[in-house]
């Protein structure tokens, strides 16, 4: 079980069209086929690291934004979970990314995040910077 820092918010990238109050459920429940988890497994990720029975959330708004861009017409949501948060074993920065059994949409941050808005390498740089900044926030230090 993982505890979030006081005041931390959670974000999720997901299918478009969800509204506040909507449940975010894992792909094994919803039947959604095109997921980053599925892509990771197809590329050789172990089932322990890319679980289809989990919803992935992050304290990094821009971390979730990048993942939303990687999903065609992905959306960015702020979410809440009452369930237990597990550390995401794929995230190399502790306290940034988590897995849970379900989440609830609190608000729609961005209804459509378009991949074409930036070149691929710019998205990767944004992901690296955002992950580092979120990790610094968790660690109680300034990113720099």
Please give the Cα distance from 71 to 141 (Å, whole number). 31
Phi, psi (deg, nearest 5) at residue 70: -75, -15
Residues 90/97, Cβ–Cβ less than 8 Å: yes
Residue 142 pLDDT exceeds 60: no
pLDDT tens-digit series, residues 3-47: 777 788 999 998 899 999 999 998 888 877 666 665 555 666 666
β-sheet bridge partners, residue 76: 13, 110
Q: What is the pTM of this model?
A: 0.83
Give pLDDT tens digits for 112-131: 998 887 888 888 888 888 88
Pull the structure tokens for residue 11.
């974000």
Supply φ then ψ for residue 48, to 5 degrees.
Answer: -75, -25
């Amino acid at each position: 079980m993982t505890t979030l820092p006081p005041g931390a918010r959670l974000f999720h990238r997901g299918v478009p069209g969800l509204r506040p109050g909507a449940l975010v459920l894992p792909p094994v429940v919803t039947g959604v086929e095109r997921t980053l988890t599925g892509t990771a497994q197809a590329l050789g990720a172990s089932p322990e690291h890319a679980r289809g029975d989990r919803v992935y959330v992050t304290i990094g708004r821009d971390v979730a934004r990048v993942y939303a861009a990687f999903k065609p017409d992905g959306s960015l949501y702020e979410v809440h979970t009452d369930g237990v948060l597990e550390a995401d074993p794929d995230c190399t920065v502790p306290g940034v990314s988590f897995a849970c059994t379900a989440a609830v949409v609190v608000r729609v941050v961005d209804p459509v995040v378009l991949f074409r808005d930036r070149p691929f390498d710019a998205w990767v740089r944004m992901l690296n910077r955002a992950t580092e900044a979120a990790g610094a926030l968790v660690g109680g230090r300034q990113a720099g």
